[in-house]
Amino acid sequence: MSPAKRHAKVKMTDIAQAVGVSAMTVSRAFKGDTGVKPATRAAVLSKAEELGYVFDATAANLRQSRTGFVAVVVPSLENANFSATVRALSKALSQKNIQILLANTEYDVEEEERLIPQLLRRNPEAIVLIGTQHSKRTRALLKKAPVPVIEIWDLPREAIGHVVGFSNFDAVQLLVAHLVKSGRRRLGFLGGEAGNDPRGQQRRAGFVAALAQLALPAHRLVPLGTAPVGMTEGAAGLDRLLSQFPDTDGIICVSDLVGFGAVAQCARRGIAVPETLAIAGFGNYEIGRVCEPALTTVDVGAEQIGQRTAELVFDLLAPGNTRQGPRRFDIHPDLIVRRSTP
Residue 23 has pLDDT above 90, yes or no: no
pLDDT digits (tens, 9 = 90+) for 196-232: 788 999 999 999 999 999 999 999 999 998 888 999 9
The span from the CA of 221 to the CA of 244, in Å, is 10
Cβ count within 10 A of residue 64: 11
Reply yes or no on whether the pLDDT at 2 is more than 50.
no
With 70 as the cut, is the pLDDT of residue 65 above it? no
Query: Nearest CA to 294 among 250, 337, 340, 335?
Result: 340
Task: Write the pLDDT tens digit of every residue in 250-289.
Answer: 999 999 999 999 999 999 999 999 999 999 999 999 999 9
Go through 273-309 and write b for each residue having 16 or more CB atoms within 10 A of its CB, e for each that does not: bbeebbbbbbbbbebbeebebbbbbbbbbbbbbbbbb
- 14 versus 61: the higher-pLDDT residue is 14
User: Cis bond leading into 228, ω under 30°?
Assistant: yes
Q: Are 191 and 254 in contact (CB under 8 A)?
A: yes
| H helix intervals, 52-79 | 57-63
8 A C-beta contact, residue 98 and residue 315? no
Element (H, E) at 165: strand 162-165
- Residue 4's pLDDT band (cuts 50, 70, 90): very low
pLDDT tens, 76-93?
988 999 999 999 999 999
Q: Do domains 67-166+302-331 and 168-299 have the same CATH topology?
A: yes
Segments making up each domain of the chain, as ranges: 3-55, 67-166+302-331, 168-299
Q: Give the pLDDT confidence of 121-140 residue by residue, as tens digits.
A: 889 999 999 988 899 999 99
pTM of the model: 0.78
Is residue 60 very low, low, confident or very high in pLDDT (cuts 50, 70, 90)? low
Q: Which CATH class is domain 67-166+302-331?
A: alpha beta
CATH of 168-299, one of 3.50.50.60, 3.40.50.2300, 3.20.20.70, 2.60.40.10: 3.40.50.2300
Burial grade of 239 (CB within 10 A; 0-12, 13-18, 19 or more) = middle
pLDDT at 10: 77
CATH code given to domain 3-55: 1.10.260.40
